[in-house]
Structure 1
Amino acid sequence: MRGPVRGTAPVPLSVLDLVTVGSGYSATDALRTSVELARTAETRGYHRLWVAEHHSMPGVASSSPAVVLAHLAAHTSTLRLGSGGVMLPNHAPLVIAEQFGTLEALAPGRVDLGLGRAPGTDGATAAALRRAETLHEGADDFPQQLAELTRFLDDSFPPGHRYARIHAVPGPVQGSGPGGVQSPARPSLWLLGSSGFSAQLAGMLGLPFSFAHHFSSHNTLPALALYRESFRPSEVLDRPYASIGVNALAAEDAEEARRQVMTGALSMLRLRTGRPGLVPTPEEAAAHEFSPVEREFVESWAANVVYGDPQQVRAGLDELVERTGADELVLTSTVHTPAARLRSYELVADAYGFPKDIAAA
């Protein structure tokens, strides 16, 4: 398995694919674009590609990360794939262990299991997902759920535990036949967050941490500092390793980049005001009459996006690494047009001198 490609980038670059659905497109179109994006990321030298769990959002077709990742695994061979993330409070830990054990069996040594503490949706949808009225579990139970999931992944419940006789399969279960151990490896575990809770927990457990800078930029530096201060070496890491999600878009020129970025800004405005839908077209975004309050929101949102021509985006990403000390950048693009998203990742790779085809390099 290949290591991260750096080119002239200060840290490895990766991809967060939200499987966005633009107006005039279908979820099928968005998932086809995800395959194209994964192939682009693999051939151009991006380190990993993650998909994120979202629910009840027409413009985001990634409600089932494990299903999407299985499809992407079938169309790639070296790219790391994972969740950025799966929302642990929404699911029984055994289900996640089985899903990602299956992914690890499909793509050995290539799977990341990134876990989030928030439900990733509204309260009613979260209740429908996990039947909270009967389970009475939520984000506050995250450490206990994480410990249970880890036990299932490692098949390490102690004798006498009520789950000691339950095994997550595929997983590191001792087989009785000639095959022996079913799978000696397990997915690489990450914690994700947009505040200090998961940052501190990841540090205490010695796990890699990914911060959602793309929608919580004001918390980035405090959370990363807390992660590093809390870090304790583990069997996984001997030093802290932190990535940050970055909303970024490169285009041939800054004007076109701005045109596409405003589609994501309008989409986010609608989501935040209870009107989620498909990502609007550039024409619709340009024609929208923003109120002063709406204009303030979209301009604030766009200010947290690194966009422009390739060299402007490179400069913005380099500055972000210098300011945060991030060990990896995970780039995401919330825009309407699939071709614009795909082209952006090509242009960023070009700006950093990544190979045109890593297999031929």
Structure 2
Amino acid sequence: MNDAGDEGIRAAGTGGTADPIRGTVRGSAPVPLSVLDLVTVGAGSTAQASLRTSVAISRLAESRGFHRHWVAEHHSMPGVASSSPAVILAHLAAHTSRIRLGSGGVMLPNHAPLAVAEQFGTLEAFAPGRIDLGLGRAPGTDPRTAAALRGAGRADAAADGFPRQLGELIRFLDDDFPDGHPYARVHAVPGPVQGPAGRPPIWLLGSSGFSARLAGELGLPFAYAHHFSAAGTIPALDLYRQSFRPSAVLDAPYALIGAAALAADTDEEARAQVLTGALSMLRLRGGRPGLVPTPEEAAAYPFSPLEREFVDGWLANIVHGTPDEVREGLDDLVKRTGADELMLTANAHGGEARLRSYGLIADAYGMPTQDSNPA
């Protein structure tokens, strides 16, 4: 494994609260439940409406005891409006008061580490002790868009430069480049140069073994993208746990998995909603990204045998159905993987279906409505 400069990478500090990583189980859920938000845009709707839905989801999640709400970074996808996680998170912070907010994740090769440190230092100043910095090494888009994002002369922005970028980011967040380093007098602001303050815990995200091993060796929490790479979940979690070394951040592994889940009042309604996401993914994989189709369009689509095989495989990894069926499926997923936390993403055409799903899942687990104090 490559290191991150002469000093290598050391684990980031925890910042804010006594334990900003581990969540609290609510109701009868087997582990803490959280939300992963892609800010999906359905046909006939707008990015503005989808962003308003994200605020509504964050407030609902907070009131029902979900532990965190993360926003994913994607680019050049008409059906996904989450190209700027830090901007969205600032808006969500202004409309919530307790729930943890974070990136799931920031795709670090797309950004200069100093810029990320500044953005998340600003978020931490807005919402002290509530911000998570989840980092991935994929581009979150196609190669051409990635090249446009990174610009000329960014060779180290390739995925194999991730450990070096991570090391720089941690140094900027802690303001502790050693004397003689070219960045020793460069400060991320807001940050420690202004005085003692908390700062976001770092998570590593992945859909393969690379980040699993790196997270384990650094003693960092790890989030695995089960929702689109289910076959690799258990091997990646095993590798993370086997590689884990206790750190100032964690004394034992903490593994979160992203899970696609959608609950509705009937099986038929749930199936109709998740089929829209499956068709959207089919088009994306075929180089034809677009808005998330309506249930009617998805139901009428003339799938070829090969397309039907892809869609059936995709749907097999989405926990969907009535609330009781979704609860049973999520319980089974925790048993199979040993995950410490589930982060649920609801892929559907409309915002109301996504909101309804999170509420039904909370009901199924007996997660009571908590008093809210919106900003």
TM-score, normalized by length of structure 1?
A: 0.96
**For 1:157 and 1:237, how far apart are their aligned partners in 2?**
23
* 1:16 matched residue in structure 2: 36
Match of 1:337 among 350, 361, 365: 350
* 2:130 matched residue in structure 1: 110
Query: Deviation digits for residues 316-345 of structure 1, max 9, x if unmatched?
Result: 000000000000000001110111100000
- The answer as to 2:237 corresponding to 1:224 is yes
Match of 1:119 among 139, 142, 150: 139
**For 2:264 and 2:131, how far apart are their aligned partners in 1?**
30
* 2:292 matched residue in structure 1: 279
Displacement of 1:359: 4.4
Match of 2:187 among 155, 167, 179: 167
**Identity value in percent:** 72
- The answer as to 2:48 corresponding to 1:28 is yes
Residues 289-328 of structure 1 aligned to structure 2 (within 5 Å): 289-328=302-341
**For 1:172 and 1:184, how far apart are their aligned partners in 2?**
6
**For 1:196 and 1:103, how far apart are their aligned partners in 2?**
30
Displacement of 1:6: 1.9
SS at match of 1:190: strand
* 2:170 matched residue in structure 1: 150
SS at match of 1:134: coil
**For 2:372 and 2:284, how far apart are their aligned partners in 1?**
40
Unaligned runs of 5+ in 1: 176-180
Q: CA RMSD in A?
A: 1.2
* 1:178 matched residue in structure 2: none
**For 2:336 and 2:219, how far apart are their aligned partners in 1?**
23
Deviates more, 1:258-267 or 1:5-14: 5-14
Query: Deviation digits for residues 192-221 of structure 1, max 9, x if unmatched?
Result: 000000000000000000000000000000
Displacement of 1:5: 4.1
Deviates more, 1:211-220 or 1:3-12: 3-12
**For 2:245 and 2:25, how far apart are their aligned partners in 1?**
28
Query: Deviation digits for residues 25-61 of structure 1, max 9, x if unmatched?
Result: 0000000000000000000100000000000000000
* 2:27 matched residue in structure 1: 7
**For 2:164 and 2:282, how far apart are their aligned partners in 1?**
35
**For 1:191 and 1:240, how far apart are their aligned partners in 2?**
12
* 1:346 matched residue in structure 2: 359
Match of 2:252 among 228, 233, 239: 239
**For 1:25 and 1:194, how far apart are their aligned partners in 2?**
30
CA 196–165 in structure 1, closer or farther in 2 if over 3 Å, else same: same
**For 1:324 and 1:220, how far apart are their aligned partners in 2?**
7
SS at match of 2:123: helix
**For 1:77 and 1:83, how far apart are their aligned partners in 2?**
17
SS at match of 1:218: helix
**For 1:188 and 1:107, how far apart are their aligned partners in 2?**
13
**For 1:116 and 1:135, how far apart are their aligned partners in 2?**
17
**For 1:229 and 1:357, how far apart are their aligned partners in 2?**
38
* 1:136 matched residue in structure 2: 155
- The answer as to 2:85 corresponding to 1:96 is no
Displacement of 1:253: 1.0
**For 2:372 and 2:106, how far apart are their aligned partners in 1?**
30
Unaligned runs of 5+ in 2: 1-16
**For 1:355 and 1:156, how far apart are their aligned partners in 2?**
43
**For 2:273 and 2:140, how far apart are their aligned partners in 1?**
25
**For 2:371 and 2:324, how far apart are their aligned partners in 1?**
22
**For 1:123 and 1:13, how far apart are their aligned partners in 2?**
33
